[in-house]
Structures are given as structure tokens and as C-alpha cells.
Amino acid sequence: MDADRPTAVDRARRAAGSVLGAVGRWFARRELSWPGMLGALLGLAAAMTPSLLPRPTLYLGFIAGVGAALGYALGVLVAWVVRRTGIPLPPARVRRVAWRVLSWAGPVLAVVVVVVGCQWQDDVRVLVGEERRTSSAFLVGVLALAVGLALIALGRALRRLSRRVSRLLGRWVPASAASLLGVVVVTLLVYWLAAGVLFRVVVDVADSVYAGTNAGTPDGVEPVTSPLRSGSPASAVSWDSLGRQGRAFVAGGPSTDEIAEVTGEQATEPIRVYAGLDSADDAAGRAELAVDELERTGAFDRSVLVVAGATGTGWTEPQQMAALEYLWGGDTAIATIQYSFLPSWLSFLVDADRASEAGRLLFDAVHARWAELPQDDRPQLVSYGLSLGSFAAQAPFGSVGDLTARVDGALYVGTPAFTPLWRTITAERDPGSPQWQPVVDDGRTVRFASDGTGLATQAGTWDSPRVAYLQHASDPVVWWSWDLLTRQPDWLAEPRGPDVSGRVRWFPVLTFVQVTVDQFFGVSVPDGHGHNYASQVVAAWAAVTEPPGWSDAELADLQSLIDETLTLPTLPGADVG
């Protein structure tokens, strides 16, 4: 009996056949717009072009459907403008022939576009170090068709609604004004539902889910007992108030024995200071708590003091923290505070001001205390951040001059393009240097590189304090911005990085959607690409803080150790930035 049951593939094929049959009937009755269908074909072709990272079948089909729907809408809009301008339509015979040609050639061309697009995804996989595994063109096509038709149907429903509203308003205002008002009313209604009601529901659900996650503790993490850690019995910050990521941070890192085994010398226990959302009522209170913790633990007597920006959930990358502690024999202190428990992509939408506020308040509070110390008897003060944490860490500084006047070094990794300081520095890059790896003032103070070793090997003198940015050409977190909706970015107009396909093209709106989706897979590609920087952390910290006594071979050995002992989450959407 089981052998007679239809499989999932059989059901998918039958569903596809039904959908294709419906589309065929629509074609026959000409219920769809000919310019719209031509636009849909072009939109499908644009959507199937590659972006920064390879996309799984589900997402590839979704974006293809969105592209087809956007193309359909554009075709309908062009046809409407043509009619409004009074340009005569082609004769009926020409229109019939055009429909026949599109009815036969359109599906064939769509199949070709999907097949070729899936092969292009394979090329992107190779560029980022993955093995070839061509996506299923059949599934991509079915998903694209379903999504595209659903969006077109939604658009047609909204158009009918606007016409009904226009007829209703036409009782009191002239017909031309009523038509415009109908469109405006429906547009505002859609915006209110999407940006107001629906978004609020998403945020409320996320709040509920991630609040529960924040209250938990990662597997294997036990309450700390060392007085040099926040959350210990000696700390004014309770263990329970730290949040999930805070507990992982203070309980993590190498032990003195592990550090001594690597350095061959006696090690000092590293200091880790953290204040969670529940540790104080507001960001100012958490920043004050962090400074109190630094005072209590003797952090201002260490060789290096890092003020770190956390990502949305309060996470800091374990590899980055451990690398610094190994390099300095544990003679370090790291301080950070939590401003949200939401993933970074959602935290940016609802908590961006909180992120910048937390970064500014924490650094200002630490700097004020640090500046009171004698100049020759205080630690290196270093600003650090990864991804949204980099956005937060750069918030206190209005310019490079402001930054270098207040720190002894800075390391920013995977900085989002919406970060004001990053935007200013990048815009002022030397002529001829590309946006994906700009050169600023011949690299005298600020250097950009796609790997840690590239920082120190660039030509010219690197003066102190050193400011370093690590960013990959294929990192969607770095290159995502609202500008992608309407403007081609420099990183696509200029010579591209080595892991960005030459077939990537900019399209209004569509490229924004592609790069938005790419962010959910930023850490799912091999290290050294996308949003993965763990394999470059040792060289980057060594270049910025200049720890004594390390050879290139020893730095490479330390990096290998970190690669072997610490790993990142690899699930799509994991909050590592």
C-alpha cells in the first residue's frame, strides 16, 4: 500500500502542473498583462543573477518569485504610463501574435533562466570555498512561480481595493482626485499593516522568544567563582542578571594554565567584566557598573584594556577575546554591556539607538576613569567591535581624529555600512582604492584588510594609535544598506574583491532583497568569506596591540590552536553579528 502513495516529489509535480495549468488558462483568457508578463520574465532573470553568497534552494526560489513580481509590476506601470500619454496601441493582430509568441517562448526562456541561474549559484559556491552542489532547478522554478503569482494576485487585489475606494470617494471629490486618493489610502493602509501591525507582532513574538532564551544558560556553562569575573560572589553584578551571552562571556576564555602552555611563561588570569540588561535599569547604570567592576578587579593595572561592543543578543566572539588574552599572557581586561537580547538584524531595526547609546556611554565612562591615571602608568585602551557590536563601539567617535585622540588602538570587524564613522572614513579613501578594501592616507593610521596578516604587510609606516578594519568583499553584513534600494554601490561599480562573482549586478530594490537574504547565511560559508573572521583574529590583534615576543610562526600556531578549539554557530540566522 505504501508503495502506491504519492511521494513529496509527486505531490510537488502535481501542484506544479495545476499551477501551470492555471497560468495557461490565464494566458488564454489574457487576464494577465502582456507588458507585465514580459517584465516578470526580465525580473526573474535579474533575480537569478548571483549575489554575494550562495543561496539555498528555498531562498533562491523566493527571491526569484519576488523578482518576477517586481518585474510584472514594472511592466504594468510602464503600460499604464504609455496609455496615459496617449500613445496608440499596436493593431489587434499584432497584439494577438505577441501573445502567442510570449505564450510559447516565455515558459521556455523562464526555464533556461532558472537552470542557468542555478549553475551560477554553483560558481559562487566555488568562490567562497564550498563544494559544487547545483540547486534543483525544478524546485526553484516551482517556488518562484508560486511566490510570483501570490504577489501578483496580492497586487491585483490591492488595485481592485483602490478602485473601490476611488469610487466611494468619487461621491464627494472629482474623479481624477478620487483616483489618486484611492491609491494613497490603500498605500497608507498597506504601510500601516506591514510596518505597524505585522512588524509589531513580529517584534512581540521575538521579544517573547528571545527573552526566554536570554534567561537561560548555555550548556556546560557554570557560575564563575573567580573574583576577576563579573557574576562571581565578589562581584556587584549578580550571575542571574548577566543574561545568556553574559554568562557565556564571563565563564569563557582560556585558563592561566592554557595560556602558560602556549606562551611558555607564567600567565595572569584575564579579567572579564559584563553588565546585562537586568544588571541595571538603563544603559548609564550598566556603564557605571562596568567601570565599578573594572576598578574592583584591578583592570586599570593591566597591560591592555578593551572596551568591546556586543552584538544584538549581547554576544562577543570567543575567538577574538581568547586571541587577545593568549597574546598578552592573560594581562588583559575586557569590558562590555548588553543593550538588547534580540538578534542583530532585528535589534538594528528596533534597538539601533540603544546600541549606539550603550557604546557611547560605556566608552565615555571607561575613558573618563582611564584618563585620570598617569599617562605612563595606564593600560593600552583599545576599542573593539564585531558587526553590530562594531557599530556600537564606533558610536562615541565623530572622526578619525576624535578616535585616535582617545584610544591607543582600535579593531573593528565586519562593520555594517550604516556605521557613521565607517562611512566617513570610506568616503575619504585615497583615489583609485576600491570600497571593499580602501586605502586611507596611505595607511598611516587607518588600515583595511580582508585578513589579519594583510594589515601589517601593507606598504608604508603604520603610526600609533593603529586603527584596523577587517572586512570581506563577500560579507553581506558590511555591504547592506538602505541605499541599495535606489543606488548602485561603489563595491559593485569598482573592481571587485576576489570572492565576489563578476556576474553580480545591481538592480533597484532587487539587490537590496538579495543582500538582505544573504545576511542570514553570512556565517554558513567557509571561514575567510562572508561574515566569518575567526581565522584572522590573531594576526589582527597582534597588528593593532603589538604584543612583544611573538614571531610569525608562533602567531600562526596560536591561530591554529584557536581554530581547533573554538567554533562558531553555523546555522542560518545565528546571532554572530
62, 450, 479, 532 from 556: Cα distances, Å: 42, 17, 29, 18
Output the average pLDDT for the chain: 87
Q: Report d(CA 479, CA 492) in Å as an integer.
A: 10
Confidence of residue 28 (pLDDT cuts 50, 70, 90): very low
Average pLDDT for 419-430: 94
Comparing 208-212, 424-428, 472-476, the range with the smallest average pLDDT is 208-212
pLDDT > 90: what percent of the chain? 59
The pLDDT tens digits for 53-104 are 998 888 899 999 999 999 999 998 888 888 878 778 788 788 788 888 888 8
**Cα-trace Rg, the chain:** 28
User: Distance (Å, rounded) from C-alpha 504 to C-alpha 575?
Assistant: 26
pLDDT at 569: 45
Residue 174, pLDDT score: 79
pLDDT (average), residues 371-375 = 94
**Rounded CA gap, 577 and 317, in Å?**
9
Band of residue 156 on the pLDDT scale cut at 50, 70, 90: confident
Distance of CA 416 to CAs 181, 344, 434, Å? 39, 11, 17
Q: What CA–CA distance (Å, rounded) separates 182 from 163?
A: 6
Which pLDDT score, from 0 to 100, does residue 17 have? 53
pLDDT band at 18 (very low <50, low <70, confident <90, very high): low
With left for phi above 0 and alpha for psi between -120 and 50, is residue 130 left, alpha or beta?
Answer: beta
Q: What is the pLDDT of residue 489?
A: 94
Asked whether the predicted pLDDT for residue 280 surpasses 80, the reply is yes
What integer pLDDT is reported at residue 189 of this predicted model? 81
Average pLDDT (567-574) is 43
For 427-462, what is each residue's pLDDT tens digit? 999 999 999 999 999 999 999 998 877 888 888 899
| Percent residues over pLDDT 70 in the chain | 88
Residues near 107 by Cβ (< 8 Å), separated by ≥ 6? none
Q: What is the pTM of this model?
A: 0.86
pLDDT at 393: 96
30-45: pLDDT as tens digits: 467 888 889 999 999 9
Per-residue pLDDT tens digits for 224-279: 999 999 999 999 999 999 999 999 999 999 999 999 999 999 999 999 999 998 99
CB 280 within 8 A of CB 289: yes
- Whether 570 has a pLDDT exceeding 80, the answer reads no
Mean pLDDT, to the nearest integer, of 270-297? 95
- Looking at residue 131, its pLDDT comes to 86
Predicted pLDDT of residue 451: 84
Q: Distance (Å, rounded) from C-alpha 345 to C-alpha 520?
A: 9
